[in-house]
């Protein structure tokens, strides 16, 4: 069932784990979540570059998600937070940190306009104060679990 | 003279009436509608704290809402009916991705051999990964307190790695799998040191 090469690999990882602290034993993912729904005209702005996101694409901290009047997007973040965006929306994944072992937890989402559904994940469970949903006029703190927000700028 | 005085009084009265009228907004004022909804999976209702300017509104029951107008605090909390929530948010509610699914797989003592029961459960775990849209998987390896803490971190990683390799073998991209070992530090059942405990020899698989 297990190839000998994997056994050697496991041994190597084991040796590494002896040397490194527990948190460093985690293989961190490159992104903070994945696109689960992308329909109609949608775009994603990353470091000034605009791309068209498709289902399965990885999202990163500071990404801005945009939907046109016929567009919809949904994302599941690494801590199991679920964000869904209706048509005519702009959302910035402003800050994300999920490292429970190191106590680093943070989620800041900014909605400039449009319609957002937020379903909380592990960050809100572990440290509710670490989660902030921001609009141009309000800051929304989350005690769990499901918020619906319409922003008319 | 009397007529002129009358005109002056009328003009002054009109001016006063105009001055009392509130200024008309020239453009639509920015506003938010914030609604607390039940959890789509469990139906659990949490709470939201809406802060704007100097004001705050606390939403604590299902479909409780507040409207925030730019420059003012949050308006009074009102409970919306289901139809109103659906009218505004129905489309976005239909988009909410499925919640995470968790599985626990158990191991024989001292190595990375699954128990017969968990080995039998494995195909259904793999089937759930396949069934989900754009899945990501978190795998956390655990051990009981037999052996040293250091060797158990390595053993937990070996157990988690076994499951990872099975998922990769089934076609899941390795970059979508996060592997961590908690060694003996996070037991399901707390025990003294050097205690064999089957419920602690496990791997937690979370599919999201």
Average pLDDT over residues B60-87: 95
Token pair 């009436």 in the structure block, residue = B17
A100 at interface of B, judged by CB pairs closer than 8 A: no
- Residue in chain B closest to A75 (alpha carbons) equals B97
User: What torsion, rounded to 10 degrees, do the Cα atoms B197, B149, B156, A77 define?
Assistant: 110
Q: Which of B29, B32, B122 to mutate to test the interface with A (most CBs of A within 10 A)?
A: B32
Chain A, residues 34-93, CB within 8 A of chain B, namely 34-37, 55-56, 72-76, 78, 80, 82, 84-87
ipTM over 0.90: no
Share of chain B above pLDDT 90, in %: 81
Range with the lowest mean pLDDT among A48-62, B9-23, B76-90, B136-150? B9-23
Average pLDDT over residues B86-111: 96
Whether residue B92 has pLDDT greater than 80: yes
**pTM of the entire predicted model:** 0.81
Q: Which residue has the higher pLDDT, B53 or A85?
A: A85
Average pLDDT over residues B93-104: 96
Average pLDDT, chain B: 90
The size of the A-B interface in CB pairs under 8 A is 198
Distance of CA B188 to the CA centre of its chain: 24
pLDDT at A100: 86
pLDDT at B71: 85
pLDDT in tens, B2-14: 666 666 666 555 5
pLDDT at B15: 57
Whether residue B20 has pLDDT greater than 90: no
- Show residues of chain B in contact with A8, CB under 8 Å: none
B69: buried, middle or exposed (CB in 10 Å: 19+, 13-18, 0-12)? middle
- Show residues of chain A in contact with B42, CB under 8 Å: 145
Beta carbons of A148 and B95 less than 8 Å apart: no
pLDDT in tens, B39-70: 999 999 999 999 998 799 999 999 999 999 98
pLDDT at B24: 54
Beta carbons of A139 and B52 less than 8 Å apart: yes
pLDDT at A10: 47
pLDDT at A21: 39
State residue B36 phi and psi, 5-degree precision: -90, 125
pLDDT band at A12 (very low <50, low <70, confident <90, very high): very low
CB atoms within 10 A of CB A49: 7
In order of A36, A114, B167, B177, the CA distances from B132 in angstroms are: 10, 27, 14, 14
């Amino acid at each position: 069932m297990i190839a000998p090469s994997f056994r050697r690999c496991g041994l190597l990882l084991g040796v590494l784990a002896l040397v490194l602290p527990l948190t460093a034993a985690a293989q961190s993912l490159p992104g903070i979540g994945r696109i689960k729904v992308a329909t109609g005209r949608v775009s994603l702005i990353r470091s000034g570059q605009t791309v068209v996101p498709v289902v399965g694409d990885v999202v990163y901290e500071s990404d801005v998600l945009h939907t046109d009047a016929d567009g919809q997007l949904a994302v599941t973040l690494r801590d199991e937070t679920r964000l869904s965006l209706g048509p005519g929306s702009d959302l910035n994944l402003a800050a994300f940190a999920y490292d429970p072992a190191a106590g680093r937890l943070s989620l800041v989402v900014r909605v400039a306009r449009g319609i957002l559904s937020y379903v909380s994940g592990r960050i809100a469970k572990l440290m509710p104060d670490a989660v902030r949903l921001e609009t141009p006029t309000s800051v929304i703190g989350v005690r769990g679990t499901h918020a619906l927000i319409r922003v008319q700028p | 003279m009397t007529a002129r005085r009358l005109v002056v009084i009328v003009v002054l009265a009109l001016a006063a009436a105009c001055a009392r009228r509130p200024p008309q907004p020239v453009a639509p004022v920015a506003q938010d509608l914030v609604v607390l909804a039940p959890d789509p999976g469990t139906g659990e209702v949490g709470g939201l704290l809406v802060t704007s300017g100097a004001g705050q509104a606390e939403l604590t029951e299902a479909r409780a809402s507040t409207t925030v107008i730019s420059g003012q605090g949050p308006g009074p909390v009102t409970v919306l009916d289901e139809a109103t929530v659906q009218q505004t948010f129905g489309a976005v509610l239909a988009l909410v991705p499925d919640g995470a699914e968790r599985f626990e797989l158990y191991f024989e003592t001292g190595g990375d051999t699954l128990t017969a029961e968990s080995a039998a459960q494995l195909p259904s775990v793999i089937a759930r990964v396949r069934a989900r849209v754009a899945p990501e998987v978190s795998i956390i390896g655990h051990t009981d307190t037999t052996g040293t803490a250091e060797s158990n971190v390595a053993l937990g990683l070996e157990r988690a790695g076994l499951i990872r390799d099975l998922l990769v073998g089934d076609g899941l991209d390795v970059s979508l799998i996060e592997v961590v070992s908690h060694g003996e530090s996070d037991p399901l059942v707390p025990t003294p040191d050097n205690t064999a405990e089957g419920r602690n020899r496990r791997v937690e698989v979370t599919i999201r």
